[in-house]
Amino acid sequence: MIVTHPTDYEVHLFHEGSLYESYNVFGAHPETQKGVKGTRFSVWAPHAIEVEVVGNFNNWEGSNHGMTKLNDEGIWSLFIPALLENEIYKYQIKTITGKTSLKSDPYAFYSEVRPHTASVIYNIEGYDWKDQNWFKNKKKKSAYEEPLAFYEVHLGSWKKKDGEKFYTYRELADELIPYVLEHHFTHIEMMPLVEHPYDRSWGYQGTGYYSPTSRYGTPHDLMYFIDQCHLSGIGVILDWVPGHFCKDAHGLYMFDGRPTYEYQDVSVRENEVWGTANFDLGKGEVKSFLISNALFWMKYYHIDGFRVDAVANMLYWNTGGTSQKNEYAVSFLRKLNEMVFDADPSVLMIAEDSTDWPFVTGPTYEGGLGFNYKWNMGWMNDILKYMESEPRNRKYLHDKVTFSLMYTYSENFVLPFSHDEVVHGKKSLLNKMPGDYWQKFAQLRLLYGYLITHPGKKLLFMGGEFGQFDEWKDLEDLDWELQDFEMHRVLHEYFKELMKLYKRTKALWELDHLNEGFEWIDANNKDQSIFSFIRKGKKESDILIIVCNFREVVYENFKVGVPAFSYYNEIFNSDGIQYGGTGKINKMKIKTIEKPFHNQTCHLEMTIPPFGISFLRPVKTRKGNNSNGTEKKVRSHVTSRRTR
């Protein structure tokens, strides 16, 4: 038996919080020492009295495989002269009280399929990636000036074989990727894939942060899925939870009998809302563990970004019934984002934050938290409250639609209709809509149109695209049979057409984060609940006129102020017959009238559909003459971009 350990410098960095490849130091690694092939184990357990490696290879009896503690630093190491790949193991830890516990390896690369809880020795190297062109092309683009549309997926309940068996990562590559392409999403956002014991935690209460869940296959199987996404032009975002972890006996909680990964102070350690423990974000070893974990997912799984869960819970903690800022979390998040962007500036770091913390997407050198995107929870809550109200009462909630434009350029926002809005009795998006059967579908079409045309990137949870009527049932797959019903089928087609339009229309994303990209035409028509506005691209001719009617009333010859183009065409209307609407569309080219209206130099008259949204695009010639009497052409304008 040979005892080995990390270098003194690695130990120093780990305790300092700056060992950003700590997964190379800790965990189980095949290694050759002094000509002997074997497996090296290292674990941090500062309060342990003894630590042994146990598994099938020694019949779970560790007396011959005791680990050595290094210089009172709390790091234990052992080299076993045998290549133990695919063997299962745990650490048997004797605590200061004399009790013994069996713990999974915090740095394990693979785990047993639940309900079993042992770690698996796995060679993470060796996958042959084919996505080099994906990364080359990604680095040439700026996400801020591109369409971004995330399809949020829970892999275990998107679709099941025979209604009960999980699809594997490799099978999902064949099933999910073509579906995402068909719907014109740019990214798949996967709910947490870290190993977790309880299916219904959806991965938010993890035990194996370096171990993608074995429910759907091996780590190399997941690499294959992500590789196939990239080869198909789809980015992959991982929902990631650095704030808290579950308290199952084999996991991180009280790892060596005392608070190790969690706070010492019980008042901030226990997360009573979720029944979890909060990571001690002020502890250097925890910072090394978590920041390394993000970089690990980028390096080994080619993840394109992270949706960082529960940022509000990290930024503030409740002590004695009062909410206080957690400066440890602030420091951690800034360092996390700095290290991630230092490794790859094209990565998307998206904060799921419900607070009014300023400058979440501002650079750290200017005092920001350093994310490049934040979920716009205020917009989501406001527009859903507005849509759930009776149409005749919407005039009393008018500011729920207009208020978001008061702050939409204060951060770089993603507009989310996520899983959180369609569970726990909240009803599906379709079933939130008031009114009869037809009105529900009409208003959902309108809502999706408004989502696509409001400034900000887009996110939709699975099932919303075809009008899941029931809320999300996490133990079953989606209600795919609904597509046999006409209204669900045509809604599905509507959504695909809407997303296609979004991706090919620069006015809907090119100036997403600059106020030059949006202009109200009429934000004050609360009595009719009609809103009109302009979305703009970089070129002066790249504009869309958007008119939304949140009432069931049809209007003919309705006046809308517009910029001075000669003609406008209606290029999209949610009330089209083919989408299940009444057909109140504007078929013919609309000539503008040279009289000011709505603070615009001209106006037009159009049909306004019930519970509908209309997209109007100008003919590319602008009114007015040059000195030679010819008609002026539209000029381009160049505008600077706000970046992280």
CA distance 121 to 219: 12
Nearest C-alpha neighbor of 311 from the set 261, 243, 245: 243
CA distance 560 to 521: 8
Between helix 486-504 and helix 437-453 the angle, nearest 10°, is: 10
List the catalytic residue out of 352, 353, 522, 570: 352
Determine which helix (DSSP H) or strand (DSSP E) holds 230, and give its type and residue range: helix 219-231
Determine which helix (DSSP H) or strand (DSSP E) holds 50, and give its type and residue range: strand 50-55
Calculate ∠ Cα 574-576-580, nearest 5°: 90
What DSSP designation does 86 have?
A: T
Query: Is 352 a catalytic site residue?
Result: yes
> At 118, which amino acid appears?
A
Helices in 407-539 by DSSP H: which ranges? Answer: 429-432, 437-453, 486-504
DSSP readout, 359-396?
TTTS-GGGTS---SEEE-HHHHHHHHHHHHS-GGGGGG
What's the distance, CA 102 to chain centroid?
Answer: 34
CA distance 508 to 571: 14
Calculate ∠ Cα 61-63-65, nearest 5°: 90
SS3 assignment for 301-350: HCCCEEEECCHHHHHEEEECCEEEECHHHHHHHHHHHHHHHHHCCCCEEE
Kindly give, in sequence order, each residue whose CB lies less than 8 Å from that of residue 140, ignoring residues fewer than 6 positions away: none
Burial 174-206 (b: 16+ CB within 10 A, else e): eebbebbeebbbbbbbbbbbbbbbeeebbbbbb
Query: Is 309 a catalytic site residue?
Result: yes
Nearest C-alpha neighbor of 348 from the set 395, 412, 396, 285: 412
CB-CB neighbours of 631 under 10 Å? 11
List the catalytic residue out of 10, 256, 280, 309: 309
Residue that is written with structure tokens 């190297």 in the block? 125
CA distance 447 to 549: 10
Strand partners, 90: 54
Nearest C-alpha neighbor of 466 from the set 452, 438, 449, 485: 485
CA distance 416 to 189: 12
Nearest C-alpha neighbor of 446 from the set 576, 607, 603, 536: 576
Kindly give, in sequence order, each residue whose CB lies less than 8 Å from that of residue 400, ignoring residues fewer than 6 positions away: 382, 383, 385, 386
CA distances from 173 to 135, 162, 233, 613 (A): 19, 18, 13, 35
User: Can you read off the two tokens belonging to residue 438?
Assistant: 């037809």
Burial 503-529 (b: 16+ CB within 10 A, else e): bebbbbbbbbbbeebbeebbeeebebb
> At 50, which amino acid appears?
E
Residues marked active site are found at 309, 352
